[in-house]
Structure 1
Amino acid sequence: MEEAMVPSLSAAGIGSRFVSQDDVETAKARRDEQWKAAYARLGMEPPPQQQEDFSDGRSLAEKLAANKIAKQEEWEEKTKLANQFRALEEDEIMFLDSVRERQEEEERQRKEKDGEEVQNFKEAVAARTSAVNNPPPMAPKPVAAAPSKPTPAPARKKGALKGVVVKKKAKPAAAASAPKEDANKDKDDEEPGAKRRRISEA
């Protein structure tokens, strides 16, 4: 009874689903012959066949991890600091030397110019201090030989001032304000409780 429950591989339904290794090899050989015949018709030599990967017994996860590690190592090798620099070529060296020489020449000229300006400044300061400390001797005034005649004043033209009215001078303002001050004094004297003001007489 137990044997009846296990299906037989020779049965038509199950046995037709499986392919034997011999069938796979014959199909592969037939395909290779067809490729060779096709290349022979074109007059070309067939490319070398790829070798099949043999199974090394590792799982897919292990193979992927190994590939990832290999790629990471390759990337690190490319990005190493030593690989990022290259030696300068001859024309680059010549260009950089010319730039450096030009900069040194400009710096030297600038220092010379600054030195000259500082020297001129020091000389000017020294000349100024010596001029202040040692004034030049004063030359004696020349004595006049003979007094010259006074020049007559130019004559005024009377016609130029025609129609001008000359006013007489008025009395000084101090004399006019004195009577007012005296009147204010009298008023203060009359009122005994009022504040007294001093009025200075001018």
Structure 2
Amino acid sequence: MEEAMVPSLSAAGIGSRFVSQDDVDSAKARRDAQWKEAYARIGMEPPARQEQDFSDGRSLAEKLAANKIAKQEEWEEKTKLANQFRALEEDEIMFLDSLRERQEAEERERREKDGVEVQSFKEAVAARNNAVNNPPPIAPKPVAAPPSKPPAPARKKGPLKGVVVKKRAKPPTPVKEDTKDEKKDKQKDEPNPKRRRISET
């Protein structure tokens, strides 16, 4: 059973994975013939094909190591500290100096303004403390002399436009008292509210 699991070396499957040098040469000759025929169809001569020389005498590991070193050197050259900075030009220096001077002037002005405000605040606090601790003496009021001329009465103006003025109610006129005979006549004419009329019901 174990021998059936291991493939034999003489089997056709393993040998078919490899290509012989004769097969490579015949494929190359066929490709060259097709190349020449294609150019012959369009009426041109085929350009000379450049053969690539793959054998420079180094192993693959040596080639990879050389490529890695070259890339590392290139990266170090790009990231050198000296390459990241450059000297300032004359006009850039003048611009930066003017900015610095302006900032210093603004800072100086702000400090002066703050000093003035603090001083005025201190003076106000001191004045308030003095007013609370030392109240001013009360001076007698001078007697005003009576005016020599009485003021003119204010001129009465009519009502403003659009203002409605209500008229005052007139006081009731005195009613003369009726005599006894007139009272009796009035009572006869007026019905007595306490009495009911039976005929209406």
Determine if the TM-score, normalized by the shorter chain, exceeds 0.5.
no
Identify which of structures 1 and 2 has the higher relative contact order when contacts are C-alpha pairs closer than 8 Å and 6+ apart. Answer: 1
TM-score by length of 2: 0.43
- Higher helix proportion: 1
TM-score by length of 1: 0.43
